[in-house]
Structure 1
Amino acid sequence: MHTVPDGVEVVASWGRARHLDSPPLLVLDAATSFLDQQGIGSGTLAWQRIGDGQSNVTYLIERGGECVVLRRGPRPPLPKSTHDMMREARVQKILGERGVPVPEIIAVCEDESLLGVPFYLMSRLDGTVITDSVPPHLSCAEQRRATSEAVIDALVTLHGIDVTRGELASLGLPEGYLRRQVERFHSLWEINTTRSLPAVERIGDWLARNLPPSQAASVVHGDYRMGNLMFAPRAPARILGILDWEMATLGDPLADLGYLTATYSEAGSPATPLELTRVTRSPGYLTRRQLAERYQCRTGLDLTPLPWYQTLALWKAAIFCEAIYTRWQRGERPRDASFGPSLETGVPRLLERAGHYAGLTAITRR
């Protein structure tokens, strides 16, 4: 944990940020004032950035022996309808009341004068997020399998919640979800790129021509993967919390399964920029096919069209990553020395994998 600001991302006050090329992400005196208003801790604030998110930003905050997590959007200007902190907090409150494992929302702040954007505070979960290494308590073959099974079982539970009544019904319109996704991301490409990648248009056209009928309506997390799950600190494998609800809405549940399986690391498969939890390449974890079979057994949904959803997932990811690459090229990610530049080739790799699922590999290489 840090108590001293770094002078770029974290500053002591807005006065200290006047010389910066980009606005800071955390202003310590403003955050301290908000904690005072909420009666959280006392004395000096300590901070630590956590997570691997490339969009919204999360900090662990400690003050006077009390720990909370602060979550905010990236630096403005923000695209319309994205990075809605108030909505993200509301989704978690509603789902928490329905038994979904999520952090407790402690406070929300709509006053942009404090940090430049709205933000919220949530409880800290004492657990493990699995990325590059296997936690010792989940390292045996039995627990590796149980870890994979827990990932699917939590998704099945989320998708089983009734979204036709109560507050959940106001979170989105399930009808037409897939078409809206294709149209929205198709429109985002031109405003987020400075180069020509014809595969984007070809895959987008294929998706639009082959829209599958949705079999059910559910909460869709939108970024459901192992790296967004907090596991309990002791065996057996158990999920304490599902994290990062930025893209949650109501729609087709197979969109989540398509994303999970398309981005899931598996031995022998080509690497992409979305391979964020590499440990599942190791022996003992379920394969993509086994994940899908477990989901199908528990939901009864027909997974024949799953390749369409996997194509959609990687095509969307390519467009999202291209926006990050463009921001890096423009100097808007000054401390990004690895992820941003890697997307020069990373985005085409995502498109090639998307084309593989769609059976369009040959044309995506042109």
Structure 2
Amino acid sequence: MSSEEKVSQLVDSEALSTRLTAELGPAETYEIERFPGGHSNETLFVAWNGHDLVLRRPPPGETAKNAHDVLREYHVMDALGGTDVRVPSTVLACADHSVIGSEFYIMESIKGPVLRNDEIERFSSADARRAIAEELIDRLVEIHSVDVEAVGLTDFGRPDGFLTRQVSRWREQFDWAREITAEEREIPSLKPVREWLDQNIPESSPSTLVHGDYKLDNVIFEPNGSPEIAAIVDWEMSTLGDPLTDLSWLLTYWQDADDDDCAIPELIPTFTRQEGYPTKAALVNRYEQATGTTFEHDRFYRALAIYKLAGICEMFYRRYLKGNSDNPMYPKMRQRVPTMVDWALRIIEGEDPL
């Protein structure tokens, strides 16, 4: 499928033009381009009469319950607009499926580098590498410091029983994917990982706003100068809950120099193995010092993060098997997901400490 065909599958350009005209006024220039790098919600760049915009919508085809909630993403970013948390400015949200075929929202585009598969040249010094890690932790601390009552997010989640629901939710998401994928191959470590998580749920840390998908390629750095985060994006899984789930998710996407081979190199960058990048333990230490929170029960939090990532990737594999995506990464999940679940089991068994 060509890029033009993919865009037309995702957006009714004429209907979107009508909606944008009503919101922003008429435009002499109007272009839509799909961002090919996403693996969850669809992202499209929209040029509208000098405005550089980003449109976010769910992927086409059947999706798991509670997944791909783009209007939730809009809601939290809109609420955070007046805080220290660095988010793009929101433009509009639309729940009317008759416009482009699904709900969607639009925000202002933020220009700057995203570190996905490799670092950029101006970030290759030891000082810059340390600054990248410090920025990630310091901006995460800002998220966890938000006064949710002041920004109107007190009803944004249910903190009580958060970890229990997380374990249950990702079992359900996994099971939804396995309705199709189980016919293709087994995942031997899945049962012992699930049983251990069920039996070892700790008491949650005090509730905060959590991002839900906080990692290197969900932040945009300033276009010039030393590493400084300009914006944090991809808030679709944000809620009120245990902040240590955000920290453990970030650690999942961070490689130390002496780590084993990466379980899923398509998603987890390996350039943080290079000299100058702090270790995962150093990231935890900076977070603990900034918040006064101790990263207790790290085996549980880290195993849950990997179980969650494996569940997301199993949903990718289901979408591939159902013919709902042409993403070349998705068929690789046949092998990658069992490897990730094995990784979670190694953490549980103490074979992969911080």
TM-score of the pair, normalised by structure 1 = 0.88
1:222–1:247 CA contact under 8 A, matched in 2: yes
Task: Give 2:263's aligned residue.
Answer: 272
Task: Give 1:49's aligned residue.
Answer: 34
Question: 2:5 pairs with 5, 8, 16, which one?
Answer: 8
SS class of match (1:81): coil
CA 1:77 to 1:325, structure 2 compared with 1: closer, same or farther past 3 Å?
Answer: closer
Aligned residue identity for 1:187: E
How far apart are residue 319 of structure 1 and its match?
1.3
Aligned residue identity for 1:148: A
**1:298-336 CA distances to partner (integer Å, 9 max, x unpaired)?**
111121312210100001111111111122122221x22
Task: Give 1:133's aligned residue.
Answer: 118
Q: How does 1:51-130 map to 2 (within 5 A)?
A: 52-130=37-115
How far apart are residue 41 of structure 1 and its match?
5.8
Question: Is 1:169 aligned to 2:161, yes or no?
Answer: no
**1:215-244 CA distances to partner (integer Å, 9 max, x unpaired)?**
211111111101000111122211111100
How far apart are residue 361 of structure 1 and its match?
6.9
Partners of 2:205 and 2:174 in 1: how far apart?
Answer: 28
2:262–2:270 CA contact under 8 A, matched in 1: no
Task: Give 1:261's aligned residue.
Answer: 251
In the alignment, structure 2 segments of 5+ residues that lack a partner are: none
Partners of 1:256 and 1:231 in 2: how far apart?
Answer: 19
1:41–1:65 CA contact under 8 A, matched in 2: no
CA 1:142 to 1:51, structure 2 compared with 1: closer, same or farther past 3 Å?
Answer: farther
Q: Matched residue pairs, number? A: 344
Greater mean alpha carbon deviation, residues 31-40 or residues 41-50: 41-50
How far apart are residue 86 of structure 1 and its match?
2.0
Question: 1:343 pairs with 321, 333, 340, which one?
Answer: 333
- Runs of 4+ with >4 A deviation: none
Partners of 2:224 and 2:276 in 1: how far apart?
Answer: 18
Task: Give 2:223's aligned residue.
Answer: 233
Task: Give 2:294's aligned residue.
Answer: 302
In the alignment, structure 1 segments of 5+ residues that lack a partner are: 12-23
Aligned residue identity for 1:72: R
Question: Is 1:292 aligned to 2:284, yes or no?
Answer: yes
Question: 2:238 pairs with 248, 262, 267, which one?
Answer: 248
Partners of 2:211 and 2:168 in 1: how far apart?
Answer: 19
**1:175-218 CA distances to partner (integer Å, 9 max, x unpaired)?**
11000011111123222113232422211110111111112111
Greater mean alpha carbon deviation, residues 82-91 or residues 38-47: 38-47
Aligned residue identity for 1:133: D
Question: 2:165 pairs with 162, 169, 180, which one?
Answer: 180
Partners of 1:129 and 1:51 in 2: how far apart?
Answer: 14
Partners of 2:118 and 2:209 in 1: how far apart?
Answer: 30
How far apart are residue 254 of structure 1 and its match?
0.3
Partners of 2:204 and 2:214 in 1: how far apart?
Answer: 19
Greater mean alpha carbon deviation, residues 244-253 or residues 321-330: 321-330
Task: Give 2:324's aligned residue.
Answer: 332
How far apart are residue 172 of structure 1 and its match?
0.5
Task: Give 1:150's aligned residue.
Answer: 135
Task: Give 2:207's aligned residue.
Answer: 217
SS class of match (1:192): helix
CA 1:139 to 1:76, structure 2 compared with 1: closer, same or farther past 3 Å?
Answer: same
Partners of 1:99 and 1:303 in 2: how far apart?
Answer: 24
Aligned residue identity for 2:248: G
CA 1:41 to 1:228, structure 2 compared with 1: closer, same or farther past 3 Å?
Answer: farther
How far apart are residue 51 of structure 1 and its match?
6.3
1:258–1:307 CA contact under 8 A, matched in 2: no
SS class of match (1:349): helix
TM-score of the pair, normalised by structure 2 = 0.91
CA 1:169 to 1:74, structure 2 compared with 1: closer, same or farther past 3 Å?
Answer: same
How far apart are residue 9 of structure 1 and its match?
0.9
Aligned residue identity for 1:180: R
Task: Pick 1 or 2: higher relative contact order, CA cutoff 8 A, min separation 6.
Answer: 2
**1:84-135 CA distances to partner (integer Å, 9 max, x unpaired)?**
2222111111122222100011111121112110111101112111122322
CA 1:36 to 1:332, structure 2 compared with 1: closer, same or farther past 3 Å?
Answer: same
Partners of 2:298 and 2:26 in 1: how far apart?
Answer: 48
Greater mean alpha carbon deviation, residues 196-205 or residues 177-186: 196-205
Task: Give 2:194's aligned residue.
Answer: 204
SS class of match (1:230): strand
1:57–1:72 CA contact under 8 A, matched in 2: yes
